[in-house]
Amino acid sequence: DQQVKQNSPSLSVQEGRISILNCDYTNSMFDYFLWYKKYPAEGPTFLISISSIKDKNEDGRFTVFLNKSAKHLSLHIVPSQPGDSAVYFCAATDQGAQKLVFGQGTRLTINP
């Protein structure tokens, strides 16, 4: 039961270019979405979130876009930096839940 899917297990981007990570969800009750970044041997760290009442949220180099009709969200990183190399997890939750549902993660590698 994969309610949150990240179909790209890996992505390689050149330093300075845009990184676009994608996430799809199936549960129409989800109304709050988050992106977490994870380095090896560390726990996930929060990056950015978006509520379903918005279609875009921006924080510095990071922008999350939400397309509710397509049940799709994406994370844009501009410009990409070597320190952005990590695994990125998309997560979702709904009003009544006390849990995050995570996707499988996308390993982003930024090449110099």
Partner 1 sequence: EPEVTQTPSHQVTQMGQEVILRCVPISNHLYFYWYRQILGQKVEFLVSFYNNEISEKSEIFDDQFSVERPDGSNFTLKIRSTKLEDSAMYFCASSVDRVHTGELFFGEGSRLTVL
Question: In angstroms, what is the C-alpha Rg of the chain?
Answer: 13
Kindly determine how many residues on this chain lie close enough to bind partner 1 according to the rule CB under 8 A: 24
Question: By CB neighbour count within 10 A (0-12 exposed, 13-18 middle, 19+ buried), where does 72 fall?
Answer: middle
CB 75 within 8 A of CB 97: no
Examine residue 95 and tell whether it contacts partner 1 (CB under 8 A): yes
Binding mask 30-69 for partner 1 (x = CB under 8 A): -xx-x-x----xxxxxx--x--------------------
Q: How far is the CB of 27 from partner 1 (least distance, A)?
A: 14
Strand pairing partners for 86? Answer: 108
Question: How many helices (H) and strands (E) are present in the chain, helices listed first?
Answer: 0, 11
Nearest approach, Cβ of residue 76 and partner 1 (Å): 19
Q: Which residues bind partner 1 (CB under 8 A)?
A: 31-32, 34, 36, 41-46, 49, 89, 93-95, 97-105
